[in-house]
Amino acid sequence: MAGASGGTLLKVCRRFYLCVSRAGYHPVEFLVSELSVARSLLESKTSDKGTLPIGVGYIAWVLEKYPSKDSEALISAALDANVQALWFAFGDDMGRWIRYVRENAPKGKAPLIFVQVNSVDEAVNAVEQLKADVIVAQGIESGGHGGNYAPPLSDLLQTILARFSGSPQAPVVLAAGGLANGIDVASHIARGASGAVMGTRFLLTPESKYTNAQREALLAAGSEDTIRSMAFDYARDALGWPEGVDGRGLRNDTVADFEQGVDLELIRAKYKEAMQNQDRKRLLVWAGTGVGSMNRIMPARDVMEDLQRELEYQSKHDVNPSARLQ
């Protein structure tokens, strides 16, 4: 959701939902502004000093790229806002930033630590070394960046749960990747997940920062229209991701040029022009495999209410919702 989430999308946060904004691609002043917007939108749920019921996500390799004082300032901004959770993903030294959080969080107000993983080994490290409170198990179906070595979500989830079965260290595990509706969420809760993470569905909301052209591309897409590729990172000159990490988005002319070996500078020039003209045939549009089941733009609050109704109905009427994924 990097580049698409933000303060206004966070207004759907409720007691049982944790909305996550992103940090790291902008100066600390931008994050402070976003957090201020979030607090104003959630003023009925929190006071100036109360816990802000949202999370802030950090791409660890981006933190590692900048001077320590700048990256620490980004984390401190979230701590100062008293957010409920911090989410870390994609970095070789996430422990450095998690230690900073625990050493600098106000006493009694430390946020929950979420760590995103793509394998069982990463989950074990997150629990045993990083002492994560919550594991986000991201399957290969996920839109946006993820490990190209990740197994399907159902397999990853089951393997992680089996690894920690009966362990006093057993973490809270959330399922992420390719989820389109409450039925999908119910299926993974039936498998043992404590909850789920959804991204692509919220791109199709007025509150997301996706443009109309990007939303139109999502509406037109089928489930077979996504692809994992580095094409968009090369086109945007957004390189630096750890080995094995690429992104899933909609296949388009930018991807085709990249696969055909078109000169990189030409690809970048065409992409820059597409950004200016909002040409959806070349724009970056992150999307998970569930995109084919999404066929309308709805306010984020309505999306949340639909998801809750679907989840409740499925939980009451389907004795074995996980069977649909087997």
Q: Over the stretch 280-324, which tens digit does the pLDDT of each residue have?
A: 999 999 999 999 999 999 999 999 999 999 988 887 776 454 444
Task: Classify residue 10 by its DSSP letter.
Answer: G
Cβ partners under 8 Å of residue 166, min gap 6: none
**Whole-number pLDDT of residue 124:** 98
Q: Report the amino acid identity of residue 182.
A: G
CA distances from 188 to 28, 39, 67, 107 (A): 36, 31, 40, 35
User: What local confidence, expressed as pLDDT, does residue 324 receive?
Assistant: 42
DSSP summary character for residue 171 = P
Calpha distance 175→139 (Å, rounded): 8
Residue 298 burial by CB count (10 A; 0-12/13-18/19+): exposed, middle or buried? middle
Residue in the structure block whose two tokens are 């443009």: 211
Max Cα-Cα span within the chain: 55
Q: What is the pLDDT of residue 325?
A: 39
Report d(CA 294, CA 180) in Å as an integer: 7
Q: Does an H or E element contain 43, and which?
A: none
Closest Cα to residue 23, out of 7, 8, 39?
7
CA 33 – CA 135 distance, rounded (Å) = 28
Q: Torsion angle of alpha carbons 158, 163, 167, 173, nearest 10°? A: -40
> Tokens 């591309």 map to which residue?
217
Low-confidence ranges of the chain (pLDDT < 50): 15-16, 319, 321-326
> Is residue 277 packed enough to be buried (19+ CB in 10 Å), middle (13-18) or exposed (0-12)?
exposed
Per-residue confidence (pLDDT) for residue 50, from 0 to 100:
83
Q: What is the Cα–Cα distance from 204 to 297, expressed in whole angstroms?
A: 5
- 143's enclosing H/E stretch is none
Q: What is the pLDDT of residue 318?
A: 63
pLDDT in the model for residue 169: 87
- 177: which residues sit within 8 A by CB, 6+ positions away? 138, 139, 140, 141, 142, 146, 150, 153, 288, 289
Q: Please report the pLDDT score of residue 15 as a whole number.
A: 45
For residue 99, what pLDDT is reported? 97
Distance of CA 146 to the CA centre of its chain: 10
